[in-house]
Structure 1
């Protein structure tokens, strides 16, 4: 089994997602992990941009 919970972006609602597999769920876990990391990285780049500081 592999499961996780998501929150609706606008409404006060949640959803539970559960995967059942006869083989390893490792590929699913890795794929979802990469998607969450990409989303988080894009959010951080937008919400907290880094700027280069030049000292003379």
Structure 2
């Protein structure tokens, strides 16, 4: 089961394209990396961003 944390995703989306770097903070193992690497990645793909334009660091 994946909990999407819609509030945090909405905050990332709202700040998208404003030229500022986004910093996601939080306690250890609270889902920061999962939010960026899985949920936001999926959001971008669903909204027409070509997968070739996304860079992933494993």
Is TM > 0.5 for Structure 1 vs Structure 2?
no
Higher helix share: 2
Structure possessing the higher radius of gyration over alpha carbons? 1
Report 1 or 2 for greater relative contact order, CA contacts < 8 Å, sequence distance ≥ 6: 2
| TM-score calculated relative to the size of structure 1 | 0.32
